[in-house]
Amino acid sequence: MADKKKQKTKEDPNEKRVCTNRKARFNYEILDEIECGIVLAGSEVKSIRSGKISIEEGYARIRDGQLYLVNCNINEYPQANLMNHEPTQVRKLLLHRRELDRFAARAEERGFTLVPLEVFFSRGFVKVKIGLAKGRKEYDKRDKIKRDTDRNEMRSAKLKRV
């Protein structure tokens, strides 16, 4: 039993989270998530490894049967000189056809959007977690803040009592 607990707490050396979109979970209600690969140039991968990426303003779009990441900023890699990339270019996301069809059908419904949630390395490849999201209203955001603070207060009171 103790061995299983050690395995859970140990981080996988092949997986490393680079960037998370914390605003997305606040501004949107995430209904479904999917991991997909991304087509990148070498200088982009080097820049992501050093943490020079921002997905806060990014979103995904389906165009011509393909999924693209739009408005994601990957800063230029200084050592790449002439072979550098465009920081805010549109990047293709890689999914199996059946996954894209299932995900795209729900994304085209009214009021839904595709939001990047995090960028991470998995087995040496850059992966992007995309979420199918529905926008929250202002009163929903206030309600979420209230629930989170209540939960934290109950948790701290429980720890003080024990």
pLDDT at 111: 77
For the chain, domains (ranges, CATH) are 16-135 (2.40.280.10)
pLDDT of residue 29: 87
As a dihedral over the C-alpha atoms of residue 70, residue 75, residue 79, residue 81, rounded to 10 degrees, the angle is 60
In the chain (162 residues long), the average pLDDT of successive 10-residue segments reads 49 78 87 91 86 89 90 86 82 91 80 90 91 82 85 85 70
Model pLDDT, residue 2: 47
Buried/exposed 76-99: b ≥16 CB within 10 Å, e otherwise: ebeeeeeebbeeeeebebebeeee
What does the pLDDT read at residue 130? 93
pLDDT at 1: 44
* pLDDT (0 to 100) of residue 37: 93
